Structure 1
Amino acid sequence: MSWHQQIRAGFDLETTGKDPKQALIVTASLVVVDASGRPSASAEWLVDPGVPIPEEAAAVHGVSTERAQAEGMEAGRAISEITETLRDLFSAGIPVIAFNGVYDFTVMDREARRHGLTPLTPSPVIDPFVLDKQMDRFRRGKRTLSAVSEHYGVSLENAHTSAADALAAVQVADALAAKYEQLRGDAEQLHAAQVRWKAEQAESFEQYLRKKDPQASLSRAWPVEPPR
Protein backbone atom coordinates (compact mmCIF):
# COMPACT_ATOMS: atom_id res chain seq x y z
CA MET A 1 0.00 0.00 0.00
CA SER A 2 1.00 3.60 -0.55
CA TRP A 3 2.14 5.70 2.41
CA HIS A 4 -1.13 7.66 2.30
CA GLN A 5 -3.07 4.47 3.00
CA GLN A 6 -1.06 3.63 6.13
CA ILE A 7 -0.54 5.17 9.56
CA ARG A 8 1.10 8.57 9.25
CA ALA A 9 1.58 11.68 11.38
CA GLY A 10 1.31 15.41 10.90
CA PHE A 11 3.78 17.72 12.63
CA ASP A 12 3.91 21.46 13.10
CA LEU A 13 5.68 24.04 15.25
CA GLU A 14 4.88 27.60 16.21
CA THR A 15 7.92 29.56 17.30
CA THR A 16 9.46 32.88 18.28
CA GLY A 17 10.54 33.86 14.77
CA LYS A 18 11.01 33.19 11.07
CA ASP A 19 14.68 32.14 11.05
CA PRO A 20 14.70 28.40 11.78
CA LYS A 21 18.31 28.51 12.94
CA GLN A 22 17.44 30.99 15.70
CA ALA A 23 13.74 30.41 16.40
CA LEU A 24 12.67 28.81 19.68
CA ILE A 25 9.67 26.53 20.00
CA VAL A 26 6.48 27.90 21.56
CA THR A 27 4.02 25.16 20.61
CA ALA A 28 4.40 21.77 18.93
CA SER A 29 1.75 19.34 17.73
CA LEU A 30 1.75 15.80 16.40
CA VAL A 31 -1.42 14.27 14.99
CA VAL A 32 -1.37 10.56 14.13
CA VAL A 33 -3.96 9.42 11.59
CA ASP A 34 -5.01 5.86 10.78
CA ALA A 35 -5.01 4.18 7.39
CA SER A 36 -8.27 5.88 6.41
CA GLY A 37 -7.05 9.34 7.46
CA ARG A 38 -8.97 9.63 10.73
CA PRO A 39 -7.05 11.18 13.66
CA SER A 40 -6.28 8.41 16.14
CA ALA A 41 -3.86 10.07 18.56
CA SER A 42 -2.31 13.44 19.20
CA ALA A 43 0.21 15.21 21.39
CA GLU A 44 0.64 18.91 22.03
CA TRP A 45 3.28 20.91 23.86
CA LEU A 46 3.14 24.48 25.11
CA VAL A 47 6.69 25.59 25.78
CA ASP A 48 8.21 28.44 27.74
CA PRO A 49 11.11 29.37 25.44
CA GLY A 50 12.85 31.24 28.23
CA VAL A 51 12.87 34.54 26.34
CA PRO A 52 10.18 37.11 25.57
CA ILE A 53 8.04 36.07 22.61
CA PRO A 54 8.11 38.87 20.02
CA GLU A 55 4.78 40.58 19.54
CA GLU A 56 4.91 39.83 15.81
CA ALA A 57 5.17 36.09 16.52
CA ALA A 58 2.51 36.16 19.26
CA ALA A 59 0.14 37.90 16.86
CA VAL A 60 0.47 34.94 14.49
CA HIS A 61 0.08 31.99 16.88
CA GLY A 62 -1.68 33.65 19.78
CA VAL A 63 0.70 32.66 22.59
CA SER A 64 1.97 35.55 24.67
CA THR A 65 5.09 35.62 26.81
CA GLU A 66 2.89 35.73 29.91
CA ARG A 67 0.96 32.62 28.91
CA ALA A 68 4.09 30.69 27.97
CA GLN A 69 5.68 31.53 31.32
CA ALA A 70 2.55 30.65 33.27
CA GLU A 71 1.50 27.48 31.46
CA GLY A 72 4.42 26.30 29.36
CA MET A 73 6.81 23.43 29.97
CA GLU A 74 10.46 24.10 30.67
CA ALA A 75 12.15 24.21 27.27
CA GLY A 76 14.75 21.50 27.81
CA ARG A 77 12.18 18.93 28.95
CA ALA A 78 9.79 19.83 26.14
CA ILE A 79 12.46 19.63 23.44
CA SER A 80 13.54 16.23 24.75
CA GLU A 81 9.96 14.92 24.69
CA ILE A 82 9.24 16.24 21.20
CA THR A 83 12.54 14.91 19.84
CA GLU A 84 12.09 11.44 21.29
CA THR A 85 8.46 11.21 20.16
CA LEU A 86 9.50 12.05 16.61
CA ARG A 87 12.43 9.64 16.83
CA ASP A 88 10.06 6.84 17.84
CA LEU A 89 7.81 7.55 14.85
CA PHE A 90 10.73 7.55 12.42
CA SER A 91 12.17 4.38 13.97
CA ALA A 92 8.83 2.68 13.39
CA GLY A 93 8.89 3.75 9.75
CA ILE A 94 5.91 6.06 10.18
CA PRO A 95 6.12 9.01 7.77
CA VAL A 96 5.87 12.44 9.35
CA ILE A 97 4.14 15.05 7.22
CA ALA A 98 5.17 18.69 7.68
CA PHE A 99 4.33 21.61 5.40
CA ASN A 100 7.58 23.40 4.49
CA GLY A 101 9.18 20.83 6.74
CA VAL A 102 12.69 22.20 6.32
CA TYR A 103 11.65 24.98 8.68
CA ASP A 104 10.26 22.71 11.40
CA PHE A 105 13.04 20.14 11.27
CA THR A 106 15.77 22.78 11.20
CA VAL A 107 14.21 24.35 14.30
CA MET A 108 14.16 20.88 15.92
CA ASP A 109 17.80 20.30 14.99
CA ARG A 110 19.01 23.57 16.49
CA GLU A 111 16.86 23.21 19.60
CA ALA A 112 18.22 19.71 20.22
CA ARG A 113 21.79 20.98 19.91
CA ARG A 114 21.11 23.90 22.27
CA HIS A 115 19.92 21.49 24.93
CA GLY A 116 22.67 18.89 24.48
CA LEU A 117 20.41 16.31 22.83
CA THR A 118 21.18 14.02 19.91
CA PRO A 119 19.58 15.65 16.85
CA LEU A 120 17.08 13.76 14.75
CA THR A 121 17.77 12.22 11.39
CA PRO A 122 14.26 12.90 10.08
CA SER A 123 13.17 10.26 7.59
CA PRO A 124 10.77 9.55 6.07
CA VAL A 125 9.38 13.07 5.83
CA ILE A 126 6.63 14.07 3.43
CA ASP A 127 6.36 17.77 2.64
CA PRO A 128 3.24 18.87 0.76
CA PHE A 129 4.88 22.24 0.07
CA VAL A 130 7.59 20.51 -1.97
CA LEU A 131 5.12 18.08 -3.54
CA ASP A 132 2.71 20.80 -4.64
CA LYS A 133 5.48 22.88 -6.23
CA GLN A 134 6.74 19.80 -8.06
CA MET A 135 3.40 18.61 -9.38
CA ASP A 136 1.86 22.01 -10.22
CA ARG A 137 4.92 24.17 -10.69
CA PHE A 138 3.39 26.86 -12.91
CA ARG A 139 0.29 27.62 -10.83
CA ARG A 140 0.07 31.28 -9.94
CA GLY A 141 -0.67 32.56 -6.47
CA LYS A 142 0.55 31.99 -2.95
CA ARG A 143 1.87 28.65 -1.69
CA THR A 144 1.10 29.14 1.99
CA LEU A 145 -0.61 26.32 3.88
CA SER A 146 -3.86 28.29 3.87
CA ALA A 147 -3.71 28.88 0.12
CA VAL A 148 -2.70 25.32 -0.73
CA SER A 149 -5.36 23.91 1.61
CA GLU A 150 -8.01 25.96 -0.16
CA HIS A 151 -6.72 24.85 -3.56
CA TYR A 152 -7.04 21.17 -2.64
CA GLY A 153 -10.35 21.54 -0.82
CA VAL A 154 -8.97 21.06 2.69
CA SER A 155 -10.72 22.89 5.51
CA LEU A 156 -8.23 24.79 7.68
CA GLU A 157 -9.73 26.32 10.78
CA ASN A 158 -7.58 28.02 13.42
CA ALA A 159 -4.69 28.46 11.01
CA HIS A 160 -1.33 29.11 12.67
CA THR A 161 -2.17 26.91 15.61
CA SER A 162 0.17 23.94 15.48
CA ALA A 163 -2.57 21.29 15.90
CA ALA A 164 -4.72 22.64 13.06
CA ASP A 165 -1.73 23.12 10.77
CA ALA A 166 -0.43 19.60 11.47
CA LEU A 167 -3.73 17.97 10.52
CA ALA A 168 -4.14 20.19 7.45
CA ALA A 169 -0.67 19.18 6.26
CA VAL A 170 -1.73 15.52 6.36
CA GLN A 171 -4.94 16.23 4.48
CA VAL A 172 -3.18 18.27 1.80
CA ALA A 173 -0.57 15.52 1.37
CA ASP A 174 -3.37 12.95 1.05
CA ALA A 175 -5.12 15.10 -1.57
CA LEU A 176 -1.89 15.36 -3.56
CA ALA A 177 -1.37 11.59 -3.46
CA ALA A 178 -4.96 11.03 -4.55
CA LYS A 179 -4.48 13.36 -7.52
CA TYR A 180 -0.97 12.43 -8.65
CA GLU A 181 -0.02 8.77 -9.10
CA GLN A 182 3.67 9.72 -9.08
CA LEU A 183 3.42 10.60 -5.38
CA ARG A 184 2.07 7.23 -4.29
CA GLY A 185 4.14 4.34 -3.05
CA ASP A 186 6.94 3.91 -0.55
CA ALA A 187 7.54 6.79 1.88
CA GLU A 188 11.32 6.36 1.91
CA GLN A 189 11.48 6.54 -1.87
CA LEU A 190 9.30 9.65 -1.87
CA HIS A 191 11.56 11.19 0.79
CA ALA A 192 14.58 10.65 -1.47
CA ALA A 193 12.71 12.16 -4.41
CA GLN A 194 11.88 15.26 -2.39
CA VAL A 195 15.56 15.81 -1.59
CA ARG A 196 16.16 16.07 -5.35
CA TRP A 197 13.03 18.08 -6.05
CA LYS A 198 13.73 20.66 -3.36
CA ALA A 199 17.26 21.18 -4.71
CA GLU A 200 15.92 21.60 -8.25
CA GLN A 201 13.20 24.01 -7.10
CA ALA A 202 15.71 26.12 -5.20
CA GLU A 203 18.09 26.23 -8.15
CA SER A 204 15.31 27.28 -10.51
CA PHE A 205 14.09 30.04 -8.22
CA GLU A 206 17.65 31.21 -7.60
CA GLN A 207 18.18 31.63 -11.34
CA TYR A 208 15.00 33.70 -11.50
CA LEU A 209 16.13 35.92 -8.61
CA ARG A 210 19.56 36.43 -10.16
CA LYS A 211 17.99 38.30 -13.07
CA LYS A 212 17.62 41.18 -10.61
CA ASP A 213 20.22 40.27 -8.00
CA PRO A 214 23.29 38.45 -9.35
CA GLN A 215 24.32 37.57 -5.78
CA ALA A 216 21.04 35.84 -4.85
CA SER A 217 21.59 32.47 -3.23
CA LEU A 218 19.13 29.87 -1.97
CA SER A 219 19.76 26.76 0.08
CA ARG A 220 19.11 23.40 -1.56
CA ALA A 221 18.89 21.56 1.78
CA TRP A 222 15.90 19.45 2.82
CA PRO A 223 14.55 18.38 5.29
CA VAL A 224 17.20 19.98 7.57
CA GLU A 225 19.53 22.90 7.05
CA PRO A 226 22.95 21.53 8.07
CA PRO A 227 24.79 23.38 10.84
CA ARG A 228 27.84 25.31 9.73
Structure 2
Amino acid sequence: MTSWVDMPLCAVDTETTSADPNTARLVTACVAAINGSEVDSRTWVANPGIEIPAEATDVHGITNEYVREHGRPHDEVVAEVVEALYVAWESGRAVVAYNASFDFTVIANHSPGFEVRGLIVDPFTIDREFDAYRKGKRTLADVCEHYGVRLDGAHSADGDALAAARLAWKMPRVYHVLALASADSLMESQANWYRERQYSYIDYLRRNNRPFDDVSVEWPVRTQKATAA
Protein backbone atom coordinates (compact mmCIF):
# COMPACT_ATOMS: atom_id res chain seq x y z
CA MET A 1 0.00 0.00 0.00
CA THR A 2 1.32 3.40 -0.98
CA SER A 3 0.96 6.13 1.63
CA TRP A 4 -0.69 9.36 0.59
CA VAL A 5 2.24 11.31 2.07
CA ASP A 6 4.34 10.19 -0.89
CA MET A 7 2.07 12.14 -3.24
CA PRO A 8 3.06 15.66 -4.35
CA LEU A 9 0.70 18.36 -3.10
CA CYS A 10 -1.50 20.89 -4.79
CA ALA A 11 -3.42 23.42 -2.70
CA VAL A 12 -6.65 25.26 -3.49
CA ASP A 13 -8.42 28.13 -1.77
CA THR A 14 -11.28 30.42 -2.68
CA GLU A 15 -12.47 33.78 -1.41
CA THR A 16 -16.15 34.36 -2.01
CA THR A 17 -19.19 36.59 -1.71
CA SER A 18 -20.65 34.74 1.26
CA ALA A 19 -19.85 32.43 4.17
CA ASP A 20 -22.69 30.19 2.96
CA PRO A 21 -21.32 27.82 0.31
CA ASN A 22 -24.80 27.19 -1.03
CA THR A 23 -25.13 30.81 -2.17
CA ALA A 24 -21.49 31.94 -2.45
CA ARG A 25 -19.84 32.89 -5.72
CA LEU A 26 -16.12 33.13 -6.39
CA VAL A 27 -14.25 36.40 -5.98
CA THR A 28 -10.70 35.05 -6.04
CA ALA A 29 -9.21 31.56 -6.26
CA CYS A 30 -5.78 30.00 -6.17
CA VAL A 31 -4.51 26.59 -7.25
CA ALA A 32 -0.88 26.01 -6.30
CA ALA A 33 1.15 22.96 -7.32
CA ILE A 34 4.01 22.39 -4.89
CA ASN A 35 7.28 20.78 -5.95
CA GLY A 36 9.63 20.83 -2.99
CA SER A 37 10.60 24.45 -2.45
CA GLU A 38 9.11 25.48 -5.80
CA VAL A 39 5.48 26.55 -6.14
CA ASP A 40 3.65 26.79 -9.46
CA SER A 41 0.72 28.97 -8.48
CA ARG A 42 -2.15 30.43 -10.44
CA THR A 43 -4.55 33.00 -8.99
CA TRP A 44 -7.80 34.23 -10.52
CA VAL A 45 -9.99 37.27 -9.89
CA ALA A 46 -13.64 36.74 -10.79
CA ASN A 47 -16.43 39.21 -11.24
CA PRO A 48 -19.15 37.28 -9.37
CA GLY A 49 -21.94 39.06 -11.21
CA ILE A 50 -23.54 40.13 -7.94
CA GLU A 51 -22.66 42.71 -5.33
CA ILE A 52 -19.99 41.65 -2.85
CA PRO A 53 -21.46 42.31 0.61
CA ALA A 54 -19.48 44.59 2.92
CA GLU A 55 -19.01 41.76 5.43
CA ALA A 56 -17.30 39.66 2.76
CA THR A 57 -15.06 42.54 1.67
CA ASP A 58 -14.15 43.07 5.33
CA VAL A 59 -12.74 39.53 5.36
CA HIS A 60 -10.83 39.29 2.07
CA GLY A 61 -10.46 42.95 1.13
CA ILE A 62 -11.80 42.58 -2.43
CA THR A 63 -14.23 45.32 -3.40
CA ASN A 64 -16.96 45.56 -6.03
CA GLU A 65 -14.95 48.24 -7.81
CA TYR A 66 -11.90 45.99 -7.97
CA VAL A 67 -13.70 43.00 -9.50
CA ARG A 68 -15.49 45.21 -12.01
CA GLU A 69 -12.13 46.50 -13.20
CA HIS A 70 -9.97 43.41 -12.85
CA GLY A 71 -12.32 40.43 -12.62
CA ARG A 72 -13.03 37.99 -15.39
CA PRO A 73 -16.45 36.42 -16.00
CA HIS A 74 -17.38 34.21 -13.07
CA ASP A 75 -18.21 31.05 -14.97
CA GLU A 76 -15.01 31.24 -17.01
CA VAL A 77 -12.97 31.43 -13.82
CA VAL A 78 -14.83 28.49 -12.27
CA ALA A 79 -14.19 26.40 -15.39
CA GLU A 80 -10.47 27.17 -15.30
CA VAL A 81 -10.22 26.37 -11.59
CA VAL A 82 -11.93 23.04 -12.20
CA GLU A 83 -9.58 22.27 -15.09
CA ALA A 84 -6.57 23.07 -12.88
CA LEU A 85 -7.89 20.69 -10.22
CA TYR A 86 -8.42 17.94 -12.79
CA VAL A 87 -4.86 18.39 -14.03
CA ALA A 88 -3.57 18.14 -10.45
CA TRP A 89 -5.44 14.91 -9.80
CA GLU A 90 -4.51 13.42 -13.16
CA SER A 91 -0.84 14.10 -12.40
CA GLY A 92 -1.12 12.17 -9.12
CA ARG A 93 -1.29 15.10 -6.72
CA ALA A 94 -3.13 15.28 -3.43
CA VAL A 95 -5.28 18.41 -3.45
CA VAL A 96 -5.26 20.25 -0.12
CA ALA A 97 -8.10 22.53 0.97
CA TYR A 98 -8.73 23.86 4.46
CA ASN A 99 -12.39 23.24 5.29
CA ALA A 100 -12.71 21.52 1.93
CA SER A 101 -16.47 21.14 2.09
CA PHE A 102 -16.80 24.90 1.71
CA ASP A 103 -14.55 25.38 -1.31
CA PHE A 104 -15.67 22.27 -3.15
CA THR A 105 -19.35 22.97 -2.54
CA VAL A 106 -18.94 26.45 -4.01
CA ILE A 107 -17.07 25.06 -7.00
CA ALA A 108 -19.54 22.20 -7.56
CA ASN A 109 -22.54 24.53 -7.35
CA HIS A 110 -21.21 26.52 -10.31
CA SER A 111 -19.74 23.67 -12.34
CA PRO A 112 -22.39 21.20 -13.56
CA GLY A 113 -20.92 17.72 -13.74
CA PHE A 114 -18.00 18.52 -11.45
CA GLU A 115 -16.29 15.37 -10.14
CA VAL A 116 -13.81 14.75 -7.35
CA ARG A 117 -11.21 12.76 -9.26
CA GLY A 118 -8.60 12.10 -6.60
CA LEU A 119 -7.46 12.69 -3.07
CA ILE A 120 -8.51 15.75 -1.10
CA VAL A 121 -6.66 16.46 2.15
CA ASP A 122 -8.56 18.66 4.59
CA PRO A 123 -6.47 19.81 7.57
CA PHE A 124 -9.61 21.24 9.20
CA THR A 125 -11.32 17.84 9.30
CA ILE A 126 -8.12 16.08 10.34
CA ASP A 127 -7.46 18.52 13.17
CA ARG A 128 -11.00 18.17 14.54
CA GLU A 129 -10.59 14.38 14.57
CA PHE A 130 -7.13 14.10 16.11
CA ASP A 131 -7.39 16.97 18.60
CA ALA A 132 -11.13 16.98 19.16
CA TYR A 133 -11.18 18.43 22.66
CA ARG A 134 -8.76 21.32 22.18
CA LYS A 135 -10.40 24.55 23.20
CA GLY A 136 -10.44 27.61 21.01
CA LYS A 137 -11.30 28.47 17.43
CA ARG A 138 -10.44 26.35 14.42
CA THR A 139 -9.86 29.09 11.88
CA LEU A 140 -6.96 28.59 9.52
CA ALA A 141 -4.95 31.21 11.40
CA ASP A 142 -5.60 29.58 14.77
CA VAL A 143 -4.76 26.09 13.54
CA CYS A 144 -1.59 27.31 11.83
CA GLU A 145 -0.50 28.92 15.07
CA HIS A 146 -1.23 25.72 17.00
CA TYR A 147 0.92 23.58 14.70
CA GLY A 148 3.65 26.18 14.24
CA VAL A 149 2.90 26.66 10.54
CA ARG A 150 3.49 29.91 8.69
CA LEU A 151 0.52 31.81 7.28
CA ASP A 152 1.40 34.68 4.98
CA GLY A 153 -1.41 36.94 3.78
CA ALA A 154 -4.37 35.53 5.70
CA HIS A 155 -7.65 35.64 3.75
CA SER A 156 -5.86 35.90 0.43
CA ALA A 157 -6.47 32.86 -1.77
CA ASP A 158 -2.78 32.21 -2.39
CA GLY A 159 -1.72 32.80 1.22
CA ASP A 160 -4.42 30.52 2.61
CA ALA A 161 -3.76 27.81 0.03
CA LEU A 162 -0.06 27.61 0.83
CA ALA A 163 -0.72 27.61 4.58
CA ALA A 164 -3.14 24.70 4.13
CA ALA A 165 -0.45 22.80 2.21
CA ARG A 166 2.01 23.37 5.05
CA LEU A 167 -0.54 21.95 7.49
CA ALA A 168 -1.05 18.91 5.28
CA TRP A 169 2.70 18.30 5.30
CA LYS A 170 2.99 18.82 9.07
CA MET A 171 0.04 16.82 10.37
CA PRO A 172 1.22 13.27 9.46
CA ARG A 173 4.47 14.14 11.18
CA VAL A 174 2.52 14.99 14.34
CA TYR A 175 -0.06 12.21 14.06
CA HIS A 176 2.03 9.37 12.67
CA VAL A 177 -0.93 7.07 12.05
CA LEU A 178 -2.02 9.46 9.28
CA ALA A 179 1.07 8.52 7.30
CA LEU A 180 -0.09 4.90 7.20
CA ALA A 181 -3.19 5.71 5.16
CA SER A 182 -3.54 5.26 1.43
CA ALA A 183 -5.24 7.93 -0.64
CA ASP A 184 -8.47 5.93 -0.80
CA SER A 185 -8.55 5.16 2.91
CA LEU A 186 -7.82 8.76 3.85
CA MET A 187 -10.69 9.97 1.66
CA GLU A 188 -13.06 7.49 3.29
CA SER A 189 -11.82 8.35 6.79
CA GLN A 190 -12.20 12.09 6.32
CA ALA A 191 -15.78 11.67 5.06
CA ASN A 192 -16.57 9.54 8.11
CA TRP A 193 -14.87 11.91 10.55
CA TYR A 194 -16.71 14.87 9.11
CA ARG A 195 -20.06 13.08 9.18
CA GLU A 196 -19.65 11.94 12.78
CA ARG A 197 -18.61 15.40 13.90
CA GLN A 198 -21.57 17.00 12.17
CA TYR A 199 -24.01 14.51 13.69
CA SER A 200 -22.54 15.32 17.09
CA TYR A 201 -23.15 18.99 16.38
CA ILE A 202 -26.74 18.24 15.34
CA ASP A 203 -27.26 16.43 18.65
CA TYR A 204 -25.92 19.46 20.50
CA LEU A 205 -28.27 21.79 18.64
CA ARG A 206 -31.22 19.48 19.24
CA ARG A 207 -30.54 19.29 22.98
CA ASN A 208 -30.47 23.07 23.12
CA ASN A 209 -33.65 23.51 21.08
CA ARG A 210 -31.80 25.20 18.26
CA PRO A 211 -32.45 24.69 14.53
CA PHE A 212 -30.24 22.24 12.69
CA ASP A 213 -31.95 21.71 9.34
CA ASP A 214 -29.15 23.55 7.52
CA VAL A 215 -26.33 21.40 8.94
CA SER A 216 -24.83 19.21 6.24
CA VAL A 217 -23.03 15.95 6.97
CA GLU A 218 -21.60 15.48 3.48
CA TRP A 219 -17.89 15.84 2.66
CA PRO A 220 -16.19 17.05 0.50
CA VAL A 221 -19.27 18.38 -1.36
CA ARG A 222 -22.34 19.27 0.63
CA THR A 223 -24.96 17.51 -1.45
CA GLN A 224 -27.70 17.25 1.13
CA LYS A 225 -28.70 18.38 4.59
CA ALA A 226 -29.34 16.18 7.59
CA THR A 227 -32.34 16.47 9.86
CA ALA A 228 -31.68 13.51 12.13
CA ALA A 229 -28.83 11.36 13.27
TM (norm. structure 2) is 0.91
- The whole-number CA distance in structure 2 between the counterparts of 1:153 and 1:224 is 29
Secondary structure in structure 1 of the residue aligned to 2:81: helix
1:32 CA drift (Å): 1.3
Q: Is structure 2 residue 135 aligned with structure 1 residue 140?
A: yes
* Inter-partner Cα distance in structure 2 for 1:215 and 1:163: 35
Larger mean Cα displacement after TM superposition, 9-18 or 215-224: 215-224
- Matched residue type, 2:200: S
Cα distance change of structure 1 residues 78 and 215 upon mapping to structure 2, 3 Å threshold: closer
Contact 1:122 1:223 in 2 (8 A): no
Q: Deviations over 1:163-206 (max 9, x none)?
A: 00000001112111111122113222211110111111111222
* Structure 1 position 154 matched with structure 2 position 149: yes
1:226 match = 223
Structure 2 CA distance for aligned equivalents of residues 214 and 82 of structure 1: 37
Tell me the equivalent position of 1:23.
24
Give 1:84's aligned residue.
83
Partners of 2:212 and 2:78 lie apart in 1 by 34
Gaps of 5+ in 1: none
Per-residue Cα deviation, 1:50-98 (whole angstroms, up to 9, x for no partner)? 1121111111111111110101111121111111111222233311100
Contact 1:31-1:39 at 8 Å conserved across structures? no
Moved more, 84-93 or 142-151: 84-93
- Once the two structures are superposed, the pairs formed by residues 1-228 of structure 1 within 5 Å of their partners are 2-34=3-35, 36=36, 38-113=37-112, 118-184=113-179, 185-213=181-209, 215-217=211-213, 218-226=215-223
Equivalent pairs counted in the alignment come to: 222
For the aligned residue pairs, the C-alpha RMSD in angstroms reads 1.7
Offset, 1:207: 1.5
Percentage of matched positions with identical amino acids: 35
| Contact 1:33–1:39 (8 Å) recurs in 2 | yes
Please report how far the alpha carbon of residue 209 of structure 1 lies from its aligned counterpart in structure 2 after TM superposition: 2.2
Give the TM-score, by structure 1 length: 0.91
Identify which range, 149-158 or 214-223, moves more after superposition: 214-223
* Residues 24 and 180 (structure 1), Cα distance of their counterparts in 2 relative to 1, 3 Å cut: same
